Structure 1
Amino acid sequence: MGEDQRAPGAAEPIAVVGIDCRFPGAGDKDAFWDVLVRGEHGVAQVPAQRWDSADFHDVGGGAGKTNTRFAGFMSDPDAFDFEFFGISPREAAAMDPQQRMLLQAAWRAVEDSGQDPAALAGSDTGVFVGMMSSEWATLHMSDYAGLTAHRGSGNGYCMAANRISYHLDLRGPSTAVDTACSSSLVAAHLACNAIRVGDCDQAVVAGVNLLLTPALSIFYTQAGLSAPDGRCRPYSGDAVGIGRGEGVGVVVLRRLSDALAAKQPVYAVIEGSAVNQDGRSNGITAPSRWSQEKVLTDAYARAGVSPGDLSFVEGHGTGTTLGDMIEVKALGAVHAGARRGQPLLLGSVKGNIGHAEGAAGIAGLIKACLALDKRVLPPTLYADTENPGLRLAENGIRLARGPVRLPRGTVRAAVSSFGLGGTNAHVVLASAPSVRRPVEPGGVGVLTISANTLAGLHRNIAAVAEVVDGAAQDRLGQLCHSTNLVKSSLRQRVAIAATSVEEVRGELRRLLRDGSGNITALDRGKQARAGRPKVAFLFTGQGAQYAGMGKALHGACPPFRERLAEADAALRPHLGASITAIALDGQAHDGLDVDETALTQPALFAVQYALGMAFADLGVRPDSVLGHSVGEFAAAVVAGVLTLDEAARLVAARGALMQALPRDGSMIAVQASEERVAGLLADEPLVSIAAVNGPESVVVSGAAEPARRVAAALAAEGAKTTELVVSHAFHSPLMEPAAREFRAVAADIPVREPRVAFASTVHGSFAAGMDADYWSRQVTAPVRFTDAMTALVARKPTHLVEIGPKGVLVGMAARGGLTGGARRLTPVPGDKATGAEFAATLAALYTDGANPDWTALYPVGQRTPRRLPGYSFADTERFWASAATVRGTVASVVTKEQAVVGPVAAEPKPVAGDVGGVLALVAEIGDYDPADLDPEARLHEDLGFDSIMVMQLGDRLTGALGLPEPVPVEELLPRVTTVGELLAFAGEVLAARDDKERNR
Structure 2
Amino acid sequence: MNEPDDGVEPIAIIGMACRVPGAPDLGRFWENLVAGRDARTELSRERLLRAGVPAEQADDPDYVPVAYLLDGLEDFDAGLFGMTPREAALADPQHRLFLELCHAALEHAGWDPARHPGDIGVYGGRGMENYRWRHIHANRAIMAVTDHTTIGNGNHADTFTTLVSYHLNLRGPSVGVYTACSTSLVAVHTAAEALRAGECDMALAGGVSIELPADHGYLHREGAADSADGRCRPFDAAATGVVAGSGGGVVLLKRLGDALADGDHVHAVVLGNAVNNDGAAKVGFTASGVAGQAAVIANALATAGVDPRTVTYVEASATGSALGDPIEVEALTSVYGRGRADRQWCAIGSVKSNIGHLSQGAGVVGLIKTALALEHGLIPASLGYTAPNPAIDFTASPFYVNATLATWDAGDAPRRAAVSSFGIGGTNAHVVLQQPPARHDDAPRDGAVAQPPGAMSGVPREASQKLPPQPLGCTPRAQLLVLSARSAAARDAAVARLADHLAAAGAPDLADVAFTLRAGRAEHPHRAAVVATGAADAVTALRTPQRLLTAPATVTVPRVVLLFGDQAVPPVDPGLHPAEPVFAEAVDRCAAALGRTVPDLLADPLPGSFALGYATALLWRSWGLRPATMLGHGTGEYAAATLAGVFTLPAALRLVELHGRLQERLPTTPAFTVSASAATLAGLLPPEAAVVAVNGPASSVVTAPAEVFAQPLTDPATGRPIQARRLRADLPERGAVTAAMLDELAVAVAAAHPSAPAQPYLSCRTGQPVTPSDATDPAHWAGLLGEPVLFGPAVAVALAGGATQFLECGPGRQLAGLAQMQLPKGSPAPLHSLPAAGEPADAVTTCYTAAGRLWVQGLPVTVGGTGRRVPLPGYPYERSRHWIDPDPPVAAAAATGNSAEGAAAAQVARHEAPPDQLAGQATSPGPAVGLAAVWTALLGIEHLGPDDDFFAVGGTSLTAVQLVAQVRAAYGVRLSMRQIFDAPTLSAMAKTIEQRLPADRP
Shorter-chain-normalised TM-score: which range?
0.7 to 0.9
Instruction: Tell me the distance in 1 between the aligned counterparts of 2:945 and 2:972.
Output: 26
Give how far 1:646 is off: 4.1
Aligned partner of residue 761 in structure 2, secondary structure: strand
- Residue 522 to residue 572, structure 1, CA distance change in 2 (3 Å): closer
**1:646-665 paired onto structure 2 within 5 Å:** 646-659=651-664, 661-663=665-667
Specify whether residues 295 and 839 from structure 1 end up closer, same or farther in structure 2 by C-alpha distance, changes over 3 A only: same
The CA deviation at 1:313 is 1.2
Q: Give the AA of the match of 1:865.
A: R
Contact 2:486 2:524 in 1 (8 A): yes
Asked if residue 95 in structure 1 is aligned to residue 79 in structure 2, the reply is no
Letter in 2 for 1:606: A
Q: Distance in 2 between matches of 1:50 and 1:281?
A: 42
- 2:623 corresponds to which of 618, 621, 638: 618
2:874 matches 1:873: no
Letter in 2 for 1:19: M
* Shift, 1:758, TM fit: 0.8
Q: Distance in 2 between matches of 1:456 and 1:970?
A: 39
Q: Is the 8 A contact 2:53 2:216 kept in 1?
A: no
Task: Map 1:670-689; keep pairs closer than 5 Å.
Answer: 670-677=674-681, 689=691
Structure 2 match to 1:945: 955
The answer to whether the aligner puts 1:136 opposite 2:131 as a matched pair is yes
Q: How does 1:851-890 map to 2 (within 5 A)?
A: 851-856=860-865, 863-877=867-881, 879-881=883-885
1:787 and 2:821 aligned? no
- Equivalent runs, 1:255-294 vs 2, <5 Å: 255-282=255-282, 283-294=284-295
**8 Å contact kept, 2:14–2:252:** yes
Query: Does the 8 Å CA contact 2:136/2:886 hold for their aligned counterparts?
Result: no
Any idea what SS the aligned residue of 2:562 has?
A: strand
Instruction: Quickly say closer, same or farther: Cα 1:850–1:51, change in 2 above 3 A.
Output: farther
Q: CA deviation at 1:822?
A: 4.4
Partner of 1:896: none
CA distance in 2, matches of 1:341, 1:547: 75
> CA–CA distance in 1 between the matches of 2:951 and 2:302?
50
Question: 1:209 and 1:162 mapped to 2: Cα distance?
Answer: 17
Equivalence for 2:610? 605
* Contact 1:313–1:414 (8 Å) recurs in 2: yes
Deviation at 1:667, TM superposition (A): 5.2
Letter in 2 for 1:358: Q
Q: TM-score, normalized by length of structure 2? A: 0.83
Deviation, structure 1 residue 174: 1.3
The one-letter code of the counterpart of 1:576 is: R
Q: Deviations over 1:636-669 (max 9, x none)?
A: 344344444443343334334444x243666555
Amino acid at match of 1:44: T
Cα distance, 1:571 vs. partner? 2.3
Partner of 2:803: 797
- Residue equivalent to 1:234: 234
Asked if residue 740 in structure 1 is aligned to residue 753 in structure 2, the reply is no
Please say if residues 110 and 521 of structure 2, whose CA atoms lie closer than 8 Å, have aligned partners that are also in contact: no
Separation of aligned partners in 1, 2:697 and 2:710: 17
**CA gap 1:292/1:34 in 2 versus in 1, 3 angstroms:** same
CA 1:536–1:912: 2 relative to 1, 3 Å: farther
**2:841 aligned partner:** 834
- How far apart in 1 are the matches of 2:967 and 2:742? 68
**Selected match of 1:567 from 587, 604, 607:** 587
The amino acid across from 1:446 in the alignment is: L
1:691 aligns with 2:702: no
CA distance in 1, matches of 2:621, 2:982: 33
**Aligned ranges for residues 704-723 of structure 1 at < 5 Å?**
719-720=722-723
1:5-43 per-position Cα deviation (integer Å, ceiling 9, x unaligned) = 2223x2221111111111112222222122222332222
Cα distance per residue 1:695-747 (max 9 Å; x no partner): 2333456xx87x98899997897655556565762755616444433334333
Offset, 1:923: 4.2
Contact persistence 2:593–2:649 (CA under 8 A): no
Give the Cα–Cα distance (whole angstroms) in 1 for the partners of residues 505 and 949 of structure 2: 38
Kindly report which structure 2 residues correspond to 1:894-973, keeping only aligned pairs within 5 A, or say none.
905=914, 908=917, 912-913=925-926, 922-930=935-943, 943-951=953-961, 966=975, 969-970=977-978, 973=981
- The CA deviation at 1:883 is 8.5
Q: CA shift at 1:303, angstroms? A: 1.7
TM-score with structure 1 setting the length: 0.83
Matches within 5 A, 1:769-780: 769=772, 770-771=775-776, 773=778, 774-780=780-786
Q: Which deviations, in whole Å up to 9, do the C-alpha atoms of 1:310-350 show, x marking residues without a partner?
A: 11111111222332222112111111136679612211111
TM-aligned CA deviation for residue 776 of structure 1: 3.5
Distance 1:231 1:964, change over 3 A: closer
- State the shift of 1:183 in Å: 0.4
How far is the alpha carbon of 1:952 from its aligned partner? 5.0
Match of 1:524 in 2: 552
Distance 1:741 1:971, change over 3 A: farther
Whole-Å separation in 2 of the counterparts to 1:474 and 1:649 = 48
**Which residue pairs with 1:304 in the alignment?**
305
Whether contact under 8 Å (1:379, 1:403) holds in the other structure is: yes
1:225 CA drift (Å): 2.1
Deviations for 1:572-603, whole angstroms, at most 9, x for unmatched residues? 34152224x663xxxxxxxxxx3xxxx11111
Q: How far 1:485 sits from its partner (Å)?
A: 3.9
More deviation, 469-478/421-430 = 469-478
What does residue range 69-148 of structure 1 map to in structure 2 within 5 Å? 69-116=65-112, 119=115, 124-140=119-135, 143=138, 147=143, 148=146
Corresponding residue number in structure 2 for 1:444: 478
How far has the Cα of 1:565 moved from its partner?
3.8
Question: 1:281–1:287: 8 Å Cα contact kept in structure 2?
Answer: no
Find the counterpart in structure 1 of residue 316 from structure 2. Answer: 315
Shift of 1:469: 3.0
Q: Could you tell me which amino acid in structure 2 is paired with residue 578 of structure 1? A: V
Shift of 1:963: 12
Distance 1:903 1:917 in 2: 14
1:495-531: CA deviation from partner (whole Å, max 9, x where unpaired): 22334655544454455xx9xxxx9966621x2xx15
Distance 1:716 1:29, change over 3 A: closer
The secondary structure found in structure 2 opposite 1:321 is coil
Specify which of 9, 12, 35 is matched with residue 12 of structure 1: 9
Quote the residue 2:359 is aligned against. Answer: 357
For each residue in 1:259-289, what CA deviation from the matched residue of structure 2 results, as whole angstroms up to 9, or x when unmatched? 2233222110112211111122222222222
Which one of 431, 434, 437 corresponds to residue 438 of structure 2?
Answer: 434
Q: CA RMSD in A?
A: 4.0
* Cα deviation digits, residues 871-925 of structure 1 (max 9, x gap): 2223443525358679689xxxxxxxxxx97887475577654878776665454
Aligned-partner residue type, residue 626 of structure 1: L
- 1:348 correspondence with 2:343: no
Deviations 1:540-578 (A, max 9, x none): 2x23x34245456557xx22x641342223323415222
Asked if structure 2 preserves the Cα contact closer than 8 Å seen for 1:694 and 1:816, the reply is: yes
Pick the aligned partner of 2:389 from 368, 373, 387.
Answer: 387
Task: Report the equivalent of 1:246.
Answer: 246
Q: 1:434 to 1:501 in 2, by over 3 A?
A: closer
1:904 to 1:358, Cα distance in 2 relative to 1, 3 A: farther
Q: How many residues align?
A: 924
Moved more, 233-242 or 208-217: 208-217
SS of the residue aligned with 1:385?
Answer: coil
Corresponding residue for residue 997 of structure 1: none
Aligned residue type for 1:192: A
| CA–CA distance in structure 2, aligned partners of residues 713 and 220 of structure 1 | 99
- 1:913-964, Cα deviation, whole Å (9 max, x unpaired): 487877666545432331xx699988667x433333345567778999x998
Show the counterpart of 2:523: 489
Counterpart in the other structure of 2:903: none
Instruction: Name the SS for the 2:162 alignment partner.
Output: helix
Q: Which amino acid aligns with 1:247?
A: G
5+ residue gaps, structure 1: 62-66, 584-593, 890-899, 977-981, 995-1000
- Structure 2 residue aligned with 1:330: 331
2:788 matches 1:763: no
Residue type at the aligned position of 1:12: E
1:420 corresponds to which residue?
Answer: 424
Work out the percentage of aligned pairs sharing the same amino acid: 30
Distance verdict in 2 for CA 1:56–1:937, change over 3 Å: farther
What amino acid is aligned across from residue 588 of structure 2 in structure 1? D
Instruction: Tell me the equivalent position of 2:489.
Output: 455
Instruction: State whether residues 350 and 366 of structure 2, in contact with CA within 8 Å, keep that contact through their aligned partners in structure 1.
Output: yes
Per-residue deviation at 1:141? 6.6
Instruction: List per-residue Cα deviations over 1:657-682 (Å, max 9, x = no partner).
Output: 444x243666555444333555689x
